[in-house]
Structure 1
Amino acid sequence: MPEIVRFHSRDRATVESTWSQFAPSARLHRVDPDLRFDWRSAALDRVSIVEYRLTAAVRSSIRPEGQLFACAVGFLHGSLRSGRQELDAGRPWISDGREVVADREGAANVKALVFDPGWAQETARRITGDDRLRLQVTDSAPSDLAAAAHWSRAVTHLGAEAAATGGNPLIEAELARHALMTTLAVFPTTVHGRDDRTPQTSAAPVTVRRAIAFMEEHAHEPITIDDVAHAVHISTRGLQYAFRRALGITPRQHLARVRLDGAHRDLLRADPGETVAGIARRWGFSHPSRFTAEYRRVHGCPPGQALRSR
């Protein structure tokens, strides 16, 4: 279950101790004693999602060795740099060990995604199909302004979704993957260019059948499309190509359908007191309204009707 933390403080020691739990290398070299600190975070198994507002004049630094660390520090007055590279305070940045220093005044709104680097690299290898890939940051700045804005919106969305998971491991696994995929799409890393290779096309029907069998057997577990691809010995991109060629849909769409079928079976044999929302969440559907709409589209009736007909 994600560890959700929310609080307000005016104490420097609280700021330092809280932030150090997520970024052990973070340092406050200078901070206005008259500060205000508003914090919220969600710690999942593979990624932590952080948002906070710190109102104070601050000089801070971070050297996130042993982490893949993406962050946005929005402020009006001050500077942000990584080595000799000046960073735009209006855009996020990323580091896997390079120091970033901020000097700022007034209020700053901070968003961050902190990844387990080993998991991030293994996931990147599965996506690209390159078992020798070393995931490394090649530039601290995002690829463009639109990508930067998308990343910032995604962090807020992920934080809200994480707080609503209720500890569901299926939803948490998808959130972690979504966080990493968004980050890899926005920032220059060694992953870029790897997906330009021709995807695997041989024996697609066999691959698809094996993938479908794996999904049906493990849909109740926190598997992602990367796990499915790994299980049938193909890259994630190759699996996507194989599904589109054989079935005209994506593997993610098929996994969602398998889970919808699982929820349908549970609705028909539900124990007294069970709810539509509870069953939907069990199968990885975090939004009851979206689940209801998709269920109605496939089965022609609302899920509540199936629950009542048992």
Structure 2
Amino acid sequence: METLRFDSDDLERTEEFLSQAYARMRIGNGTPDSSRARIHRSAIDSVSVDELDLDFDMSYAVTPLGRICLCVVHEGTIEDHVYQGVSDSFGPGDVVSFAPPELSYAGRVHAARYNITMLDPDLLTQVASTADTRRPEPVRLTGHRPLSPAAGDRLRSTIRYVQDHVLADAAVADQPLVASTAAQHLAATVLATFPNTAVTDPTGPDRHDAHPAALRRALAYIDDHADRPLTVAQIAEAAHISVRALQYAFRRHLDSTPLAYVRQVRLSHAHDELAAADPEDGSTVTDIAARWGFYHPGRFATLYRHAYDRSPRRTLHDG
């Protein structure tokens, strides 16, 4: 996990830092008597989460980031935010996508405290697909505002969840399965929040391909690779079907989802490791759970009790 802190009242240093942290940009100060910028970044693999606190009014002009850039405004306002074909302003509580990854944008920050979450656009394609599976296109967002206030609330909660239960503990965040699971969870929530090009309903060919043999290939691949980061797209490729066909096969034959099955297999491995571990050697429930991609101790304990009718701590100590 990468962490970074910046605290300065030097505008040139702030511009240099922001250009390195995001993309090349120009900033200007509309309140010369104040120029304090405080920024904290935490990052895992393809996701970074920044908290910014600016006590001055700042204009910005940013070259394309090449990443999906989400903004949650806590205090203050962001005004006259523009990119190709869009002009908007944001206030406290708003959650937005700043601009498509390939476009530049500009605007003004008015003494604001806000969150910037950036993720690799490829994450969207790892959890969903577009209509034409013969010539796959990357999944893209087609709007910058949430589909509904409830959708925006869910995304805001997901970002906070990643902050509080992944990025708050470097030992947890550095676990490869945790990083992969958290990134996919965030990407899936982004797709549920904003208009996009993903197609979720299975087509006729998808239904035809969702046969038991394809499902068996998917299950075998998951069983053999559960100790590695897995995406829905990888599982679908191993099963020789589309992402939609894979998801339909799991719904039709198992009344489940691919990632729910991955979680079930990893829970079984965590159970085996807990039963074999010796707490006298320093083994802990939290460490073992994180090694298998479970980064919320309370949620892991709930899943574990449901599956094994006992607490993970009891398994660790009783064997």
Q: TM-score, structure 1 length as denominator? A: 0.86
Note the residue ranges of structure 1 that are not aligned, 5 or more in a row. none
SS in 1 for 2:50: strand
Alignment of 1:295 with 2:294, yes or no, is no
Q: Deviations over 1:210-263 (max 9, x none)?
A: 212111111111113332222212233322221121122222222111111101
* CA–CA distance in structure 2, aligned partners of residues 243 and 35 of structure 1: 54
Alignment of 1:101 with 2:106, yes or no, is yes
* CA–CA distance in structure 1, aligned partners of residues 291 and 83 of structure 2: 44
* CA–CA distance in structure 2, aligned partners of residues 203 and 152 of structure 1: 34
Q: Which residue of 2 is the match for residue 30 of structure 1?
A: 29
Check conservation: 1:126, 1:230, Cα contact below 8 A.
no
SS in 1 for 2:316: helix
Check conservation: 2:126, 2:232, Cα contact below 8 A.
no
Query: Aligned match of 2:257 in 250, 255, 267?
Result: 250
Query: Aligned match of 1:170 in 149, 171, 177?
Result: 177
Check conservation: 2:52, 2:113, Cα contact below 8 A.
yes
Q: Which residue of 1 is the match for residue 150 of structure 2?
A: 146
Query: Aligned match of 1:304 in 299, 313, 318?
Result: 313
- 1:45 positional shift: 1.7
Change (3 A) 1:147 1:299: closer
Amino acid at match of 2:286: A
Counterparts of 1:58-97 in structure 2 under 5 Å?
A: 58-73=58-73, 75-76=76-77, 78-83=79-84, 85-90=86-91, 91=94, 92-95=96-99, 96-97=101-102
Q: Which residue of 2 is the match for residue 209 of structure 1?
A: 216
Amino acid at match of 1:302: S
Note the residue ranges of structure 2 that are not aligned, 5 or more in a row. none
Amino acid at match of 1:139: G
Check conservation: 2:82, 2:105, Cα contact below 8 A.
yes
- 1:307 positional shift: 1.8
* CA–CA distance in structure 2, aligned partners of residues 42 and 59 of structure 1: 24
Check conservation: 1:214, 1:231, Cα contact below 8 A.
yes
Amino acid at match of 2:288: I
Q: Which residue of 2 is the match for residue 47 of structure 1?
A: 47
* CA–CA distance in structure 1, aligned partners of residues 215 and 282 of structure 2: 38
Counterparts of 1:263-278 in structure 2 under 5 Å?
A: 263-271=270-278, 272-278=281-287
SS in 2 for 1:123: helix
Give the count of matched residue pairs: 305
* CA–CA distance in structure 1, aligned partners of residues 89 and 150 of structure 2: 14
- 1:136 positional shift: 4.2
Check conservation: 1:127, 1:237, Cα contact below 8 A.
no
- 1:129 positional shift: 7.0
Check conservation: 1:229, 1:235, Cα contact below 8 A.
yes
* CA–CA distance in structure 2, aligned partners of residues 171 and 127 of structure 1: 27
- Which shifted more, 24-33 or 241-250? 24-33
- 1:56 positional shift: 0.4
Check conservation: 1:80, 1:87, Cα contact below 8 A.
yes
* CA–CA distance in structure 2, aligned partners of residues 260 and 174 of structure 1: 14
* CA–CA distance in structure 2, aligned partners of residues 223 and 17 of structure 1: 36
- 1:296 positional shift: 1.8
Query: Aligned match of 1:116 in 94, 114, 120?
Result: 120
SS in 1 for 2:287: helix
- Which shifted more, 198-207 or 283-292? 198-207
Q: Deviations over 1:244-289 (max 9, x none)?
A: 2112222222211111110111112214321122111111111222
Amino acid at match of 2:118: V
* CA–CA distance in structure 2, aligned partners of residues 88 and 31 of structure 1: 17
* CA–CA distance in structure 1, aligned partners of residues 19 and 230 of structure 2: 31
* CA–CA distance in structure 2, aligned partners of residues 215 and 8 of structure 1: 45
Check conservation: 1:41, 1:159, Cα contact below 8 A.
no
Change (3 A) 1:75 1:251: same
* CA–CA distance in structure 2, aligned partners of residues 151 and 125 of structure 1: 17
Q: TM-score, structure 2 length as denominator? A: 0.83
- Which shifted more, 41-50 or 61-70? 61-70
The two structures, once aligned, show a CA RMSD in angstroms of 2.7
